[in-house]
Structure 1
Amino acid sequence: MRRSVVRLAVPMMLFALLGPAIPGVAQAAPPTGSIADTIDWGPCAPEDEAPERVVCGELEVPVDWSRPGGSTITLALAKLPASEPSRRIGPLLINPGGPGGSGVDFAYGAGEAFSDTITDRFDVIGFDPRGQARSNVINCDLDAVLEQSNWQYPHSAADYAKLRAANRELARTCRDLSGPLVKYVDTASVVRDMDAIRAALGERKISYYGVSYGTMIGQQYAELFPDRIRAMALDSNMDHSQNIRDYQKWETLAMEGSFLQFTAWCDRTPECALHEQGALAYFDALYARAEAGELIVDGVQIVPEFVVSLVFMYMYEPAGWFYLAEDLIYFGNGGGSEARKRGEPTPYGYLPVMCSDFRFDVGSYQNVRRLEKEQNRLAPHTRLSPIAWTDLTSCQNWPYPVTNPPHRLHASPKLPPILLANSRYDVATPYQWGRSLANQLPSATFLTYDGVGHGTYWLSDCARAAIDTYLIERRTPPKNTHCPAVFPESPVTLKSGPVNPLTPGLRAGTAG
């Protein structure tokens, strides 16, 4: 991974185009007509082995947008130029989620991830958000990361005290290894970076496709820069207005609901390895063994939270459910484990973003325990959402302020029609979040995929066609449009069409 570098002085031309960055206020667009593209596009890093036609570039932006003349960081960008230049619409900026997903890698794979109709007509441009991948990646000490992971599910006041101490120590290592940027990676800062990219491209307006955490970037761009959007498709939406209880509630119900879709599918699918035994009963028994301290895999005691986390990862993409059934049997039979390397810097940009964007502090252990019991009642099988719970616990005692606090979007009448899409059963970004967001954006049309998974564009031909049509023609589907669910039919079934770039782990694209 690249070393973090801080340079001086934002280019004055760029600052003149953007104006001073005042929180909550959209800045004026550049004058009619556009300047030339000021990004110096050229060959990508040799070690990246970028696909043919993809070019790369860089852009300097302020570390702190309230001090645009201060220290800067370098954003990494990649572009797949439109394959039909004579029919080019303009730039389509993309983000694969995270926080932590690489927009550069997303652009590298754009030829496989998107339909030809998109790559024919758009320059597809991805950028690594500040603190991620090639854009001054935030590194933290791996020992500190692993120590924190030991306490993310506290079972006593003593455990909670250790969690708080581990969180504070982890943040210290991030600051020591990565510098002051760790305090300036909130989504509002990323949004201003994206508008700096727009200005550097010489475009009055941009099109945007964001998935998962990438939808928060799009939402806040729409809030701050409503008149700079040509088209915006937001897929698998987060909702920045969520309070602590609702954040946990909807994520927990999404985990339970997605899992029950898996067990029902397994019951009606003879090829599922747990078809005869019953997937729900098998999982409940496995969880009970882990809870009793009796689930031993290759000599290692497996805690119940790990069993739920295993299931969680497979809920991103139902095509892998055959392997989930096999993995559960493998655990039940006591097979394999992997050793992990310790004591070295590791990229860990996810947590500094989440702790900057949400108010997760709950105070005492008693409050944590009360919240945990509420989730357990909501989800009698899976108990709670691993991603939501560790978001909450990992931000306790975080030393830096919430610089981009949660709020309902302030939608401008200048916003063009926007397309939102969510799966009915999405383990990472619950359906209710998408519905809530639609209520905050009067210009939005909401598309429902009635199946399971994360990233409707790669789960449903119907959803992909609707998103493609909207991005090209700016024509939204009829209100209340639903796309039918798609379930895997056999272990050898291969999906046709664009390849899903999302990886399980964190929100869409951050296996780191």
Structure 2
Amino acid sequence: MRTSRAAFAASLTALLALSLAPPVTAAPQSPQWTDCDADPATPLECATLRAPLDYRAPGGKTVELAISRLKAADPAKRHGVLLVNPGGPGGSGLDMPLGLAQTFPKDVLDRFDLIGFDPRFVGRSSPLSCGFTGTVFDALWPRLPGPGGFPAEAKAAKEVARQCQRAEGDRLPFASTRNAARDLDVVRAGLGEQRISFYGGSYGTYLGAVYGQLFPARVDRMVLDGAIDPAKVWHGMNRGWGPAAETAFADWVDWAAERDATYHFGATPAAVRAHYAELGRALDQRPAQYGQLKLDGNTLREVSRLVLYSDRSDPVLAGLVADLADGQLSDPAVRGFLDAVLATFPADNFVSVFLAVQCTDAAWDRDPARYAAETALDAKRYPFFGAAAAGIGPCAYWPHRPLEQTTKIRPARHGSLVVGATGDSATPYAGAVSMRRMLGANARLLTLADARMHGLYARYGNACVDNTVTKYLVSGSLPEADQRCANVPG
């Protein structure tokens, strides 16, 4: 980033003044709970609160915050509230309590009101829209370079930044994680709670950690599952998808080669890679269609990367490759996966918020030459996804500089349990190690070894992980030391 020394000093002074100012919280509100869907069979209540658009001007414009509540199953055992967030940035959490009610253990459901929410600008919380069309794979960033290579990607990234500015320029500067964390304290106050507990997955781990930095006295219990590395927000985090996805893909290639009698992709890893590459080239010539989704070679890799978030989904990727080679998508597991992704991530709102948060949380390098060099390097190192992960995106051309410094995670007074799998390809395990180190002596790291999975608690089925997290949520007592679990069934 090129700027004059005087301008840099002025900017730094302004940023420091804002970042060192005490957090401003809106006046408490009383949520008016109503049935979310008028269906007695789904006992989820919904309400709407309001928060300042700009916390420096708490009396000015506001944003809506859509929240939900699933009450503790046993009022006699109720301990408090557990706010839950699925990640993103851009993920909706309003319906999350209903899903967790199917997977969380009874001891947790008995003791906590599960509180879901759509973070600012997501879903029902004053949604942000840059006007993207098509499916999430059409609008997604970072993305693999097309036929025009890096110059075409840079041009497209600049246009997306301009498109978001035209559509939402007055709200983009306020999309930061710090503001979303301040919104959480509006929710806490509205619920009438002195302290909240928090369960966050993926990006939700960063949101929770930032909340703990801004409001340390308001945290009761905190579980950060699939933690990101706060030191790499955000280009460094995105670039890390290159090596992580390469490792995950190599793992799947080995798995598929061992099952050549079933899938017939090839009996060696080299043969499987060649089969996959040939399929990608064929799709570039004649894309497959699944509803609105056009599957060319790049989209195949985008979808594959998501499937590879879990080693339990290796058969789904094999089914996708086999179906596409046969010219029809008939595997129920494949169709179910694609349907779930397309339904869960509405292209316009999800990608709009994803970009707005990433571009607002941190200052991005504005020199295209840096991204061009990194793209060329990582394309060779990590051919599966490296060019996308390192490539240029709209944040390099974003119309607004961050209003605040990127939050530094420092040792926290409250307890935190950081959870990570050694093979996580979405938030690589090094991020969990980094998060735990930054949070200091009151944090613990819970590791699942030899597993490729993004988000573990009550999802992967590892008894060691599940029992440790449950014990912490129920009792409030962290393990005496960091703990490592073996990847064994149940």
**TM bin (shorter chain):** 0.7 to 0.9
Q: Which amino acid aligns with 1:398?
A: W
Number of corresponding residues: 449
Other-structure match for 1:474? 476
SS in 2 for 1:108: helix
Other-structure match for 2:299? 306
Shift of 1:229: 0.8
Partners of 2:311 and 2:418 in 1: CA distance: 21
Other-structure match for 1:401? 401
Partners of 1:198 and 1:122 in 2: CA distance: 14
Q: Which amino acid aligns with 1:192?
A: R
Other-structure match for 2:145? 153
Partners of 1:88 and 1:151 in 2: CA distance: 45
2:83–2:198 contact (8 Å) kept in structure 1: yes
TM-score by length of 1: 0.78
Other-structure match for 2:158? 165
Does structure 1 residue 326 correspond to structure 2 residue 324?
no
Partners of 1:298 and 1:51 in 2: CA distance: 39
Other-structure match for 1:204? 194
Shift of 1:275: 7.0
Other-structure match for 2:370? 367
Q: Which amino acid aligns with 2:409?
A: L
Structure 1 stretch displaced more, 453-462 or 156-165: 156-165
Which string of whole-angstrom CA distances, capped at 9 and with x for unpartnered residues, describes residues 233-264 of structure 1?
10001123216774355322211122222233
Other-structure match for 1:5? none
Other-structure match for 1:214? 204
Structure 2 CA distance for partners of 1:218 and 1:336, relative to 1, 3 Å: same
Does structure 1 residue 353 correspond to structure 2 residue 357?
yes
Q: Which amino acid aligns with 1:126?
A: G
Q: Which amino acid aligns with 2:377?
A: E
Other-structure match for 1:6? none
Partners of 1:420 and 1:260 in 2: CA distance: 27
1:26–1:225 contact (8 Å) kept in structure 2: no
Q: Which amino acid aligns with 1:467?
A: V
Q: Which amino acid aligns with 2:415?
A: P
1:481-492 equivalent positions in 2, closer than 5 A: 481-485=483-487
SS in 2 for 1:70: coil
Partners of 1:108 and 1:301 in 2: CA distance: 32
Shift of 1:303: 5.4
Shift of 1:62: 0.5
Other-structure match for 2:334? none
Partners of 2:197 and 2:294 in 1: CA distance: 49
Partners of 2:193 and 2:301 in 1: CA distance: 46
Does structure 1 residue 107 correspond to structure 2 residue 97?
yes
Which string of whole-angstrom CA distances, capped at 9 and with x for unpartnered residues, describes residues 441-486 of structure 1?
1121011112011111111332122111111112223534222236
Q: Which amino acid aligns with 2:378?
A: Q
Structure 1: runs of 5 or more not aligned: 1-20, 488-495, 497-512
Shift of 1:330: 2.7
Structure 2 CA distance for partners of 1:295 and 1:138, relative to 1, 3 Å: same
Shift of 1:66: 0.8
Shift of 1:329: 2.4
Question: Which residue of 82, 98, 103 maps to 1:92?
Answer: 82
2:97–2:114 contact (8 Å) kept in structure 1: yes
Partners of 2:480 and 2:55 in 1: CA distance: 39
Question: Which residue of 175, 185, 210 maps to 1:185?
Answer: 175
Structure 1 stretch displaced more, 144-153 or 73-82: 144-153
Shift of 1:96: 0.7
Structure 2 CA distance for partners of 1:98 and 1:272, relative to 1, 3 Å: farther
1:272–1:325 contact (8 Å) kept in structure 2: no
Other-structure match for 2:106? 116
Partners of 2:216 and 2:246 in 1: CA distance: 37
Structure 2 CA distance for partners of 1:164 and 1:56, relative to 1, 3 Å: closer
Question: Which residue of 15, 33, 44 maps to 2:36?
Answer: 44
Which string of whole-angstrom CA distances, capped at 9 and with x for unpartnered residues, describes residues 195-231 of structure 1?
1111121211111100001111111011111111111
2:81–2:112 contact (8 Å) kept in structure 1: yes
Other-structure match for 2:8? none
Other-structure match for 1:73? 63
Question: Which residue of 403, 417, 425 maps to 1:427?
Answer: 425
Structure 2 CA distance for partners of 1:272 and 1:401, relative to 1, 3 Å: farther
1:265-280 equivalent positions in 2, closer than 5 A: 265-268=255-258, 273-274=263-264, 277-278=267-268
Shift of 1:40: 1.9
Shift of 1:419: 0.4
Q: Which amino acid aligns with 1:356?
A: T
- Percentage of pairs with the same residue: 26
Other-structure match for 1:23? 19
Structure 1 stretch displaced more, 260-269 or 368-377: 260-269
Partners of 1:285 and 1:123 in 2: CA distance: 50
Other-structure match for 1:16? none
Shift of 1:296: 3.3
Other-structure match for 2:445? 446
Structure 2 CA distance for partners of 1:287 and 1:486, relative to 1, 3 Å: farther
2:205–2:225 contact (8 Å) kept in structure 1: yes
Partners of 1:80 and 1:150 in 2: CA distance: 35
Q: Which runs of 4+ in 1 moved over 6 A?
A: 147-151, 299-302
TM-score by length of 2: 0.81
Structure 2 CA distance for partners of 1:437 and 1:298, relative to 1, 3 Å: closer
Structure 1 stretch displaced more, 473-482 or 130-139: 473-482
Partners of 1:185 and 1:229 in 2: CA distance: 23
2:309–2:425 contact (8 Å) kept in structure 1: yes
2:90–2:122 contact (8 Å) kept in structure 1: yes
1:273–1:322 contact (8 Å) kept in structure 2: no
Partners of 1:167 and 1:129 in 2: CA distance: 22
Other-structure match for 1:225? 215
Partners of 2:248 and 2:69 in 1: CA distance: 35
1:255–1:385 contact (8 Å) kept in structure 2: no
Q: Which amino acid aligns with 2:394?
A: S
Structure 2 CA distance for partners of 1:220 and 1:24, relative to 1, 3 Å: farther
